Structures are given as structure tokens and as C-alpha cells.
């Protein structure tokens, strides 16, 4: 019998406190889904980085609007998706100085997740995603 996919979606205003609420939501949901604490920590950090980027990009658009965090869990896979109203693609900084306060978000996501990317949905904006293989 195939295992169902568990899905959680949270919509947030594109403002700085969205990061805190998204991270809290991700931790609560993943704990309820009985994901291991190490995987919860990694996913929560990725959520923080992706939502931080989304807030920054969304506030640079004419209509900041809303963000959406979607978590999809099936068997040993977890997909994290963050949607924002900006259509500009995410840019992974190649060289960030040691003293820089930002620019490492996608590097962290890339190092923690199995893969990451983005797409432009037909409804507008963009969705940045990352996929994890869970430890069990």
C-alpha cells in the first residue's frame, strides 16, 4: 500500500517576522509528522534562509503581498517550497566575504539539502524549493 504524501501550507505577509513564524510552523509540523530532530533542524534552517530571501525579494516589488511555505513529506523525502511575488530568479552568491552579514543563504540550503531549484508558476511570482532525504 503506497504511503500518502503529507502536505502543510502556510501563507504569510511578506515582512521580517514571517521568518520566525515559518520556522516555528515547520518545526511544529515536522515534529507532528515524527521527522527526526536532526532533519527538523536542517529543514528549519533551510526554511529560515528561503523565507528570509523571499521577504527581501518581495519587499523589492511594487506589491510585496504574501509568501507561502509548503512542506511535502512522503516516506523518506521532504520537499520545502517558498513562493513569493517576485519573478527574479534566486542567485547563489559565488564568493561571499567572511565578514559579510548576508549572501550565504542559498549556499547553506545547497549544502544541507539533496538539491534545490526554482520555477515560475503560472499564477505569477516564483517558487524556490529544496529537497531533503530524511534519515528516518
Crossing angle between the packed helical segments 37-58 and 105-112, to the nearest 10 degrees = 150
Mean pLDDT, rounded, for 111-128: 94
- Ordered domains of the chain (ranges, CATH): 6-93+105-133 (3.30.565.10)
Please give the share of the chain, as a percent, with pLDDT higher than 70. 85
Evaluate if residue 97 carries a pLDDT over 80.
no
For the ranges 66-70, 93-97, 125-129, 131-135, the lowest mean pLDDT is seen at 93-97
Mean pLDDT, rounded, for 21-26: 98
Q: What is the DSSP string of 33-80?
A: TT--HHHHHHHHHHHHHHHHHHHHHHTTSSS--EEEEEEEEETTEEEE
Q: Cα(31)–Cα(121) distance, rounded to whole angstroms?
A: 29
Mean pLDDT, rounded, for 84-99: 72
Give the pLDDT confidence score for residue 104 in this predicted structure: 65
36: confidence class by pLDDT, cuts 50, 70, 90 = very high
Amino acid at each position: 500500500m503506497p504511503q500518502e504524501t503529507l502536505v502543510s501550507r502556510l501563507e504569510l505577509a511578506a515582512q521580517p517576522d514571517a521568518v520566525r513564524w515559518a520556522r516555528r510552523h515547520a518545526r511544529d509540523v515536522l515534529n507532528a509528522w515524527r521527522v527526526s530532530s536532526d532533519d527538523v533542524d536542517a529543514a528549519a534552517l533551510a526554511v529560515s534562509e528561503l523565507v528570509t530571501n523571499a521577504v527581501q525579494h518581495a519587499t523589492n516589488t511594487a506589491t510585496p503581498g504574501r509568501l507561502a511555505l509548503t512542506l511535502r513529506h512522503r516516506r523518506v523525502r521532504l520537499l520545502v517550497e517558498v513562493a513569493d511575488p517576485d519573478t527574479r530568479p534566486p542567485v547563489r552568491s559565488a564568493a561571499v566575504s567572511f565578514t559579510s552579514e548576508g549572501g550565504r543563504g542559498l549556499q547553506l540550503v545547497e549544502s544541507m539539502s539533496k538539491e534545490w531549484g526554482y520555477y515560475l508558476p503560472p499564477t505569477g511570482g516564483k517558487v524556490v524549493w529544496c529537497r531533503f532525504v530524511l534519515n528516518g
